[in-house]
Amino acid sequence: MDMLGMYPTFYVPGIGTAWVMGIIGVIHVVASHTSVGASFLFALLETKAYREDKPQLMDFIKKYGMFLLVFSYIIGSITGPGIWYAITVASPRGVGGLIHNFVWVWAAEWVYFTVEVIGVYALVYLIGKVDAKTHLKLTWSFALASWATMLLIVGILSFMMWPGNEAWYQTGSTNDAFYNLNFFAHLGTRTGSMVAMAAVVGLMVASRLKDMALRRSVVKFLAPIGLVGGLFAVMMFLYYLQTLPNNAVVMLNTHLLPVYARGMVAVFVTATLYLVFAWWKPHRLYTSLTVAMFAFISIVGVWPEERMRESMRKPYVAGQYIYGNQVIARDVPGKGIVGEVDKIAEHGLLKLHPFVPDRLRVINDSNRLEVGRLLTKVACANCHSLEPGTPLRNIPDKFHGATDEDLIAAFMQGPLKHGTQPYMPRIDLPDEEVRAIAHFLATVNSGKDVDHLIAEQQKLATKVAAK
Ligand code: HEC
């Protein structure tokens, strides 16, 4: 029988690979958005310096550029590859699917990224060493290359939500995938927020300027741009919400907005007030306050935004055809991809998953618990942690601590088997696999030390085998 193209499941207790990816991702977004946003602020500010013949503004650009080099670029280039490592173990088939769609888009992105990194060094170190006009051209090239990296990545990220059209499933073409329904809205949201974030970091740098006249002119320039960026981001975000698939809307209304909406409004209001205040009283700009403001935006604004985007996409990880648990949800004729849910329903994961140890392929009384743990990890752990009380929608709590195996099995043979929960994959497993999962979850809920029990059973089994 043909095996499925599944990979081993990588599991991080309590938070799952989802949060590992989320934490790295948020740090990356904060660093990268700040640097892309700053590149545009530099280009605009330098244009002003050039036109109005105010070379002292270049002092600020040099300071801010140095700050970016030391913080954003180093953090960004550590977390960027970090995302690759994390997603490759968290969601190997999701990454595989994206690479098969976007390999040249990524290649292009890396070219722009190289230009960007060389650009930021050149920009900082060539101030005053080449003539002003050449430097201005350099700065604009840096800004455009920076934004190009964002534009290309956003095409890929927004395809992860969904293509938004039926065409891609038939053609499999990169264009149909890239210019998906929420591409422009998503790009606009990020472009607006990157400008606002960069403006706040700019104020942080400006607050260190001793020359008050210079500080004033920099702040009066940055604050309104930040305000426009923030407003634009909010408008584009509202447009973005209109481009989402149904499963995302359900997830948003039932699980996400009730938790995050207030924080996000608070970020917008506070950041707006802060920028207005800075604009009004530039000499009252304190570094500590600006740092706190930026931390607030990152934690209460960026974290929920990224979390929402990841959660809304459920049950899929990419293109509404790969489920979070790595199973292919549907046929994609354009790519020669065939859905796997029915095949799993017929033969079971134990027979079809290439990385199941042979001793666990057939369930018996002495391995049922271990098989249950393995199947739960494969089928559920991409979205749920297995330990009670832990943050990644842990399953024990989702079942309210139920110790009744029949009850757990009934949920799996009802909503999960028929795919009636819009945010969960259709998970249709043979009866005995469902029983094994139910047995495992009920044992966890009864408070027993499952790992210890499994170790004992393994010992016993090796003893029996030795005899
Ligand atoms: C692709 C992601 C994903 C997978 C895989 C997944 N779930 Fe869920 N599950 C969710 C989401 C999202 C929710 C609802 C959101 C929340 O409660 O935070 C949920 C909710 C639940 C609930 C609460 C009832 C409900 O409908 O809201 C139970 C019980 C549950 N899941 C069990 C399981 C079991 C058992 C498996 C594996 C056999 C599984 N889930 C696999 C994403 C997933």
More confident residue, 309 or 179: 179
Residues 6+ apart with CB under 8 A from 380: 325, 386, 395, 427, 437
Pocket test for ligand 1, best of 309, 320, 383 (most atoms within 8 A of CB): 383
CB 327 within 8 A of CB 425: yes
CB 214 within 8 A of CB 307: no
Judged against a pLDDT cut of 90, whether residue 268 lies above it is answered with yes
Q: How far is the CA of 287 from the centre of ligand 1 (A)?
A: 44
- What is the structure's pLDDT at 348? 96
- What is the structure's pLDDT at 310? 86
- What is the structure's pLDDT at 393? 92
pLDDT band at 461 (very low <50, low <70, confident <90, very high): confident
- What is the structure's pLDDT at 465? 81
- Residue of minimum CA distance from atom 22 in ligand 1: 398
218-240 residue pLDDT tens: 999 999 999 999 999 999 999 99
101-149 residue pLDDT tens: 999 999 999 999 999 999 999 999 999 999 999 999 999 999 999 999 9
Cα(91)–Cα(95) distance, integer angstroms? 6
Q: How far is the CA of 408 from the centre of ligand 1 (A)?
A: 12
- What is the structure's pLDDT at 304? 87
Q: Supply 315's token pair.
A: 């049950």
Evaluate the omega torsion of the peptide bond into residue 391 and state whether it is cis, within 30 degrees of 0: no
pLDDT band at 308 (very low <50, low <70, confident <90, very high): confident
User: Mind spelling out the 3-state secondary structure of 94-106?
Assistant: HHHHHHHHHHHHH
Pocket of ligand 1, beta carbon within 6 A: 255, 314-315, 323-325, 379-380, 382-384, 393, 395, 398-399, 411-412, 416, 421, 423-425, 427, 437
348-368 residue pLDDT tens: 999 999 999 999 999 999 999
When the pLDDT of each residue in the chain is averaged and rounded to a whole number, the result is: 93
Which pTM was predicted? 0.92
Judged against a pLDDT cut of 80, whether residue 427 lies above it is answered with yes
Cα(320)–Cα(316) distance, integer angstroms? 5
Rg of the chain, C-alpha, whole Å: 26
Can you tell me the mean pLDDT for 1-8?
A: 90
- What is the structure's pLDDT at 466? 84
Share of the chain above pLDDT 70, in %: 100
- What is the structure's pLDDT at 125? 95
Task: Ligand 1, residue 324: give the atom nearest the CA.
Answer: 1
- What is the structure's pLDDT at 255? 87
Judged against a pLDDT cut of 80, whether residue 1 lies above it is answered with no
CB 162 within 8 A of CB 249: no
Judged against a pLDDT cut of 80, whether residue 390 lies above it is answered with yes
